[in-house]
Amino acid sequence: MTAKRSHWLYSLLAMAIFFNVRQAASQLPVNYFRNPVGIPLDLSANFGELRPNHWHMGLDVRTNAKENLPIYAAAEGYIAHIGIRPQSFGRFIIINHPNGLSTLYAHLNDFFPELEKYVTDKQYEKETWAIELDFTKEQFPVSKGAFIAYSGNTGGSQGPHLHFEIFETKTGKRLNPLLFNFNITDNVPPAITRLAVYDRSRSVFDQKPVFYNLKNTDSGYIIPKMPVMKTGLNRLSFAIQAYDKMNSGGSPDGIFSAQLFFDEVLQIKFVLDSIDYEETAYINSQTDHMHRYTGGAWLQHVAKLPGDNGAAYKTINGDGVITLADTMLHRVRIVVSDAKGLKSELNFMLQYIDSLASKANTTDYSVRFAPNKVNVISKPDFEMFLPKGALYDTITPYYYTVSNKQSNTFSLAYQVANPAIPIHEDVVVRIKLNKPVPETMQDKLLIVRSENKGRTIKKAIWQEQWLSAAFGDFGTYQVLADTTAPQINSIGKGDTVNLSAASRIIFTPTDNFGVKKFRATLNGKWIRFTNDKSRNWIYKFDERCPYGVHELTVTAEDFVGNTTTKTWWFRREPYTPPPPKKKAVKKTGTKKKSSSVKKTSSKKK
């Protein structure tokens, strides 16, 4: 096949893939869904925006920085599921629609009254705040535009807004809502601010990329003062720092797609038109996780790492790694698009220069762990099992032991690899104890993973002489005993606390390793404390706590079962707030002149 014919075929293939993506988008039910809020759509985050360990799976819709705006069903259907997840969605609703799609509405406050009562009754029946409930199509049908809830700031939300998703009902695959023709003004193409270059003769985790700042010109983005990028690398790949805006004053959002062309032949592309929740962690492969971990900006690879088995990339002519087999000039073009089809291009020339090539890497890697295979660390007192899909690229599993003489430690501390290197699947850690454990502590043991940015606590599982737990990151692992029970704040002093002037009770239990469970009873019966956000548990007085004297008992439990229980008696009586104090009115009139003579200072100058 001639080079000319090969180039023509690859160009035809690139066009076919582009039109297939557009055709798939055109087959979506455009104008089927309405705006779920009663104000013009204004986004604070779009689909595919880059987040720690996941792509953003929907749209974040601004609610004018307020809570309790009405939220409406985007189309007819029925409420199929509600959930209350304090650390993620908060209160959320899922509606199934007749066209095989579903919509999700998250970070809500109260549901509409009938649903709110139903959920509250189920919470009392099951004696739990966090809850998941499924419904049949007959229970809560909704019409398009029906009021379903109030907007809020519950769960992991960082401010009042609505999180909105569209997904396939059967598969759960999330679809980009911006492909459904919502009325959102978008007149700004994506911006490309930096280019990163990687030596792909070695692992991306063994290096820091070389950066090039970019400049936007009338003919597209360029590398300033560099008509030709000269390199000594014969295998290399690129990543870009890029963002999109809906309008000139909007917030920076994620890009929709990027394509890499080498000598005008499409090599690879990624498209964020749909994402499975099971695959969203592949963002740690699609981005430079190490650069971000150490405080850098988000970089998105325009090449696939060896252990990336997700669906974001569409490989056309290889994995996006460029091989330079000659010293000729080659054209590189990176095209970045948003969901509306607005594009920006980066163009530059690339040339291999043999004299710039570095000497062969002489680093002695005695042990290397490769992706797409099982890897194991096996020491007399420490083991780590990495499943086949855990790694994205080859790593060196550095291993160190550190002695710790604290009284509550029962093993050495074992540091494995660099915590900045991401892991796709949990690794199993097994540690052998280095001293006997008192019988009273044997069910109080934790394995703690720690690093500079925090720690992860897991209840240890006994396996003969070993303790085991699974973790999602590298770091330093150690066995500790936790014998400290949680602490619970008081609601007031005295034998019977007077809460007549209060509208609610708030508890903020604390623990050295974290509180796992919270439970409260009023006069011996479970009472619903909400936990919509942070560590606060809140009970707002309602009909379940009438006027009179009551007994309140609260229990907090940590991850190994240490518990604290406190009981108070309190009373509630009809209460009328005192009227506000009247401000003193200043008398107006002519002030009398003072007859006193102003004294002069006796201080020496």
- CA triplet 562, 567, 570: central angle to 5 degrees? 155
Q: 254 and 345 in one domain?
A: yes
Residue 201 burial (CB count, 10 A):
13
Distance CA 443, CA 373 (A): 35
Q: Which residue has the higher pLDDT, 220 or 6?
A: 220
- pLDDT exceeds cutoff 90 at 362: no
Name the residue with tokens 């490769």: 370
pLDDT for 18 equals: 44
Comparing 303-317, 348-362, 567-581, which segment has the lowest mean pLDDT? 348-362
Choose among 552, 589, 588: nearest CA to 568.
Answer: 552
- The Cβ of residue 242 has, within 10 Å, a number of other Cβ atoms equal to 25
Q: Which residue has the tokens 């919502």?
A: 182
Q: How far apart are CA 120 and CA 109, in angstroms?
A: 13
Q: CATH no. for residue 447?
A: 2.60.220.30
> In the numeric block, which tokens belong to residue 231?
């390199």
Q: 604 in a domain, yes or no?
A: no
pLDDT at 581 over 90: no
Exposed (0-12), middle (13-18) or buried (19+): which is 345, by Cβ within 10 Å? middle
**CATH number of the domain encompassing residue 118:** 2.70.70.10
Q: Is 361 a domain residue?
A: no
506-517 per-position pLDDT tens digit: 999 999 999 999
- What local confidence, expressed as pLDDT, does residue 503 receive? 96
Answer whether residue 402 shows pLDDT above 80: yes
- Whether 132 maps to a domain, the answer reads yes
Predicted model pTM? 0.88
Can you point out the beta strands (E) in 367-421? Answer: 375-378, 382-386, 399-402, 413-416
pLDDT of residue 50: 96
Cα 371 to Cα 563: distance, rounded to the nearest angstrom: 43
The per-residue pLDDT for 360 is: 60
Mean pLDDT, rounded, for 242-261: 89
What's the mean per-residue pLDDT of the chain?
91
Regarding whether 398 and 470 lie in a shared domain, the answer is: yes
Residue 532 per-residue DSSP state: -
Q: Which two tokens stand for residue 443?
A: 């069910």
Cβ-Cβ contacts under 8 Å for 290 (sequence gap 6 or more): 204, 205, 418, 420, 421
Q: Of the segments 28-37, 135-144, 577-586, which one has the largest average pLDDT value?
A: 135-144
> What is the rounded CA–CA span in Å between residue 515 and residue 45?
31
Domain boundary among 148, 180, 212: 180
The pLDDT value given to residue 358: 84
Residue 472 lies in a domain: yes
Question: In the structure, what pLDDT confidence band is assigned to residue 407 with cuts at 50, 70 and 90?
Answer: confident
The whole-number pLDDT of residue 275 equals 94
Residue 8 has pLDDT above 70, yes or no: no
pLDDT of 364 reads 58
Residues 122, 197 within the same domain: no
Domains held by the chain: number? 4
Work out the percent of the chain whose per-residue pLDDT is above 70: 90
Q: What is the pLDDT of residue 249?
A: 65
pLDDT per residue as tens digits for the range 119-146: 999 999 999 999 999 999 999 999 999 9
Question: One-letter amino acid identity for 363?
Answer: T
The enclosing domain of 503 has a CATH number of 2.60.40.1220
Q: Which residue(s) pair with 260 in the sheet?
A: 268, 334
Which of 193-207, 316-330, 462-476, 586-600 shows the lowest per-residue confidence on average (mean pLDDT)? Answer: 586-600
Predicted confidence band of residue 578 (pLDDT cuts 50, 70, 90)? confident
Residues 210 and 332 placed together within one structural domain of the fold: yes
Q: Is residue 49 part of a domain?
A: yes
For residue 185, pLDDT over 80 is answered with: yes
Q: Which of 481, 512, 531 is the last residue of a domain?
A: 481
Say whether both 381 and 527 belong to one domain.
no
Q: pLDDT at residue 576 above 90?
A: no
CA nearest to 471, candidates 417, 425, 415, 513: 425
Q: What is the DSSP string of 250-314?
A: SPPB--SEEEEEETTEEEEEEE-SEE-GGGGGGHHHHBTHHHHHTTPPP-EESS--TT--SSSEE
Q: How far apart are CA 421 and CA 417, in angstroms?
A: 8
Q: Is the pLDDT of residue 4 over 80?
A: no
- Regarding whether 431 and 335 lie in a shared domain, the answer is no
220: left (phi over 0), alpha (psi -120 to 50) or beta: left
pLDDT for position 359: 72
250/390 same-domain check: no
Same domain for 352 and 271: yes
Query: Could you list the residue range(s) of the whole structural domain that residue 266 is in?
Result: 191-356
Same domain, 205 and 348: yes
Distance (Å, whole) CA 211 – CA 200:
15
Amino acid letter for position 424: H
Candidate from 124-128, 293-297, 501-505, 577-581 with smallest mean pLDDT: 577-581
In terms of Cβ atoms closer than 10 Å to its own Cβ (0-12, 13-18, 19+), residue 522 is middle
Final residue belonging to a domain, choices 292, 323, 356? 356
Closest CA to 174 of 57, 61, 22, 79: 57
Task: Work out the average pLDDT over 543-564.
Answer: 97
In a domain, 316, yes or no: yes
Residue 248's pLDDT band (cuts 50, 70, 90): low
What does the pLDDT read at residue 250?
72
The structure tokens listed for 488 are 């619970």
Q: Residue 118: phi, psi to the nearest 5? A: -60, -45
Shared domain for 62 and 150, answered yes or no, is: yes
The answer as to whether 581 is a domain residue is: no
In a shared domain, residues 518 and 459: no
Say which amino acid occupies 280: T
Query: Is the pLDDT confidence value at 255 over 80?
Result: yes
* Pair 197, 311 in one domain: yes
- Whether 38 maps to a domain, the answer reads no
Terminal CA-CA length for the chain:
103
pLDDT band at 587 (very low <50, low <70, confident <90, very high): low
| 3-class SS of residue 547 | coil
